[in-house]
């Protein structure tokens, strides 16, 4: 088996904003065949953002030999998801995922209410033959009453309705080992995000090790404050054990795709994507390595 590899379009958001069609064509030239959308304005645009229609997007994907593996949707408003789900069903997307969530410190009941909402989104997706998946950041690894929020979410959602897109970088930044979580919930892991952490960065990998108080209330503003642009390097050029992650993913029964995601880079968007693609081609067990 080999791990399929794609790219999260947030990595090239500046290029997408300038010219989405040319950017998708360039990603195909670089060697990507799979993409994941990132729509942060789903209350105004039901698609993947950038004002591109479903018909046009479907055509551009087909012309460039690209397939879409899903899309992040924000805000994730259960009562207003109909047009979004129709858009994604129309372009052949297999599902949608949450972008980011925040949980008031210690409020277990709030976590359970959100879990109920995630189950409902999963039901709406299932009605269209699609899936819903949960994407994490570091704040899910705070403990409420001794239990990580991530565990509370997964234990209070239906495994058939809420799948997992594990962002391994953010699990590490939350002070946990993503491999342990992958092994625990492997039947639900269908996608991953892979970033990388620089060897020479002057912060600990674990944000709860002196950067963020594990008992503080983590809001969006606090998240942005601690999300240091210098804590990201091109994927495959840093210190995270990506080869071990790939090997672990290869053993999962329902895994679909590892998505490279570059939140920040010193390089231009598409050049950064090329560097990551080339670095990944040197790793074993991925389709990029096989194609090299």
pLDDT at position 142 is: 98
Distance from C-alpha of 62 to C-alpha of 283, rounded to nearest angstrom: 28
Location of structure tokens 């004002």: 51
Residue labelled with tokens 């109909």: 82
pLDDT at 204 over 60: yes
Per-residue pLDDT at 220 exceeds 50: yes
- Omega of the bond prior to 175 within 30 degrees of 0, cis? no
Instruction: Give Cα separations from 123 to 117, 120, 285 (angstroms).
Output: 10, 5, 34
* pLDDT 10s digits, 207-219: 999 999 999 999 9
The predicted pLDDT at position 292 comes to 46
Q: Which pLDDT value is given to residue 291?
A: 52
- Looking at residue 289, what is its pLDDT? 66
Note the pLDDT tens digit of each residue in 226-244: 999 999 999 999 999 999 9
Output the pLDDT for position 138: 98
Cα distances (Å, whole numbers) of residue 239 to 85, 169, 174, 233, 255: 38, 11, 16, 10, 24
Q: Is 116 helix (H, G, I), strand (E, B) or coil?
A: helix
Query: pLDDT over 70 for what percent of the chain?
Result: 99
Q: CA 120 to CA 184: how far, in whole Å? A: 24
Dump pLDDT digits (tens) for 71-107: 999 999 999 999 999 999 999 999 999 999 999 999 9
Under the banding of pLDDT at 50, 70 and 90, the label for residue 1 is confident
What does the DSSP 8-state code read for residue 286?
A: B
**Mean pLDDT along residues 260-280:** 97
Cis status, amide bond into 75, omega within 30 of 0: yes
Q: Which residues contact 244 (CB under 8 A, 6 or more apart)?
A: 179
Does 266 have pLDDT greater than 50?
yes
Which residue shows structure tokens 């210690």? 106
Q: Name the residue with tokens 């058939």.
A: 160
Look at residue 94 in the predicted model and tell me its pLDDT.
97
pLDDT of residue 6: 98
* pLDDT tens per residue, range 159-181: 999 999 999 999 999 999 999 99
């Amino acid at each position: 088996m080999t791990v399929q590899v794609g790219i999260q379009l947030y990595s090239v958001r500046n290029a997408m904003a300038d010219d989405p069609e040319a950017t998708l064509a360039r990603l195909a030239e670089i060697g990507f065949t799979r993409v994941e959308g990132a729509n942060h304005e789903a209350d105004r645009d039901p698609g993947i953002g950038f004002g591109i229609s479903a018909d046009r997007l479907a055509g551009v994907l087909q012309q460039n030999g690209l397939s879409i593996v899903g899309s992040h949707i924000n805000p994730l408003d259960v009562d207003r998801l109909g047009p979004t789900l129709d858009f994604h069903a129309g372009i052949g997307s297999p599902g949608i995922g949450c972008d980011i969530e925040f949980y008031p410190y210690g409020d277990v009941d709030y976590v359970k209410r959100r879990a109920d909402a995630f189950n409902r989104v999963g039901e709406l997706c299932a009605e269209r033959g699609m899936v819903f998946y949960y994407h994490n950041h570091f704040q899910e690894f705070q403990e409420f009453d001794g239990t990580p929020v991530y565990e509370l979410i997964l234990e209070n959602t239906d495994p058939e309705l809420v799948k997992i897109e594990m962002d391994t970088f953010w699990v590490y930044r939350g002070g946990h080992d993503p491999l342990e979580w992958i092994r625990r919930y492997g039947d639900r892991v269908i996608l991953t995000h892979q970033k990388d952490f620089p060897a020479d960065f002057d912060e600990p990998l674990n944000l709860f090790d002196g950067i963020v108080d594990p008992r503080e209330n983590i809001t969006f503003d606090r998240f942005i404050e601690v999300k240091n642009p210098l804590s990201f390097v091109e994927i495959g050029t840093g210190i995270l054990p990506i080869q071990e992650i790939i090997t672990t993913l290869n053993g999962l029964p329902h895994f679909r795709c590892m998505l490279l995601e570059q939140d920040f880079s010193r390089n231009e968007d598409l050049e950064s994507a090329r560097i990551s693609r080339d670095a990944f081609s040197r790793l074993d067990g991925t389709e990029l390595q096989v194609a090299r």
